[in-house]
A = this chain, B = another copy of it.
């Protein structure tokens, strides 16, 4: 199979906005890592698989040679301006549909802006913890939080195509799988409000001015169950992320009892990222009809190793259960790199399997389209795709 696998316009089932402004070298580099601190003395974040992949794929779109130095690349980026760079990289990526988690802080492009820059369409994924914190910030009576948040989730379900939870960051995935009672939710909401007020009075601030970080497991469970009951797909952060998270408490397998408990609601669960627990995530997608797995972040961050990681997803995961994404955030570079690495990894793997006679070419083409776009279209009810652009 010398000729490349034709792929349709991709559906990026999990991503974020990009920054509109020109970036300092330090700011750019900080967006190449999940770390929360400057690089260790004598090291730099460009010296990673992701950094090398950016230098491999992006310079040609800015009129530079692949692998040019970080300094040269960043200078040229500023010369062209962030707007022009974002347009070039997003257009080149070839993504047709963006499902955008809008819950990140910062001045990021909206789904509509992203889609316009890229020539595609955009939809919103609502981040539950952000939604709940917004609701709490507007309430005077914490006792009504449970009902208010449920209404807000139901309201969001009218326009969003799915929800996302970062429970892994807030309390770990080893949580009680059952829905909390109304009384438990009320008590937890009052506890949260009280701790917030006492914190604020120590700081001399009004409670509604401050960000209220929701970490109580009872409230997180309430959110998950509110979302599950809407019938929309629920994305769950699993696996690696920034150092706020304790990795072994983000193993997707810790969700097994929640997966079982939520099954009767008919809700679909999409396990995000998963690495290095992606074989366990693929197992859950194999064993449970309502579980899917996302290959996003895991491919971007592992760069030249994306093929090896994708191959491990493809051991147990049924081919109708894997979903492409970039998890791009802040830098348009992450869109381009996410797409290039995915297309090359998938193409190389499937081509080899066809060449060896293990798969038919027809099956390989069909599976590639499923993972690139059609599984996401089916799961999120997006309707049929546009013509192939690969």
Which positions in A face B, CB cutoff 8 Å? 33-45, 47-49, 52-53, 56, 66-67, 240, 242-243, 246-248, 251, 253-254, 256-257, 260, 275-276, 279-280, 283-284, 286-290, 301-305, 308-309, 311-312, 314-316, 318-321, 353, 356-360, 362-363, 367, 370, 378
Contact = CB atoms under 8 A, between A and B. Distances in A.
Contact of A302 (B290, B316, B321): B316
Contact of A256 (B47, B246, B256, B312): B246
B318 A47 contact: yes
B257 A253 contact: no
A315 B302 contact: yes
B304 A353 contact: yes
A39 B289 contact: yes
Given A47-B319, A49-B314, 19 more contacts: A35-B286, A35-B287, A35-B288, A38-B289, A40-B321, A43-B318, A43-B319, A43-B320, A49-B316, A52-B363, A67-B359, A67-B362, A247-B256, A247-B280, A247-B283, A248-B256, A301-B316, A303-B358, A305-B311
Contacts of A286: 33-35, 48
A378 to B, nearest CB: 5
A355 to B, nearest CB: 11
B279 A283 contact: no
A273 to B, nearest CB: 12
Residue from A41, A42, A283 whose CB has the most chain B CB atoms within 10 Å:
A283
A315 B49 contact: yes
A48 B318 contact: yes
Contacts of A247: 253, 256, 280, 283-284
Nearest to A348: B356
A44 to B, nearest CB: 7
Contacts of A356: 304
Contacts of A257: 246
19 contacts: A34-B286, A35-B289, A39-B289, A40-B289, A47-B367, A48-B316, A49-B315, A49-B316, A52-B359, A67-B363, A246-B257, A247-B253, A247-B256, A247-B283, A248-B253, A248-B256, A276-B279, A305-B315, A309-B315
Nearest to A52: B359
Nearest to A67: B360
A309 B315 CA distance: 9
A66 B35 contact: no
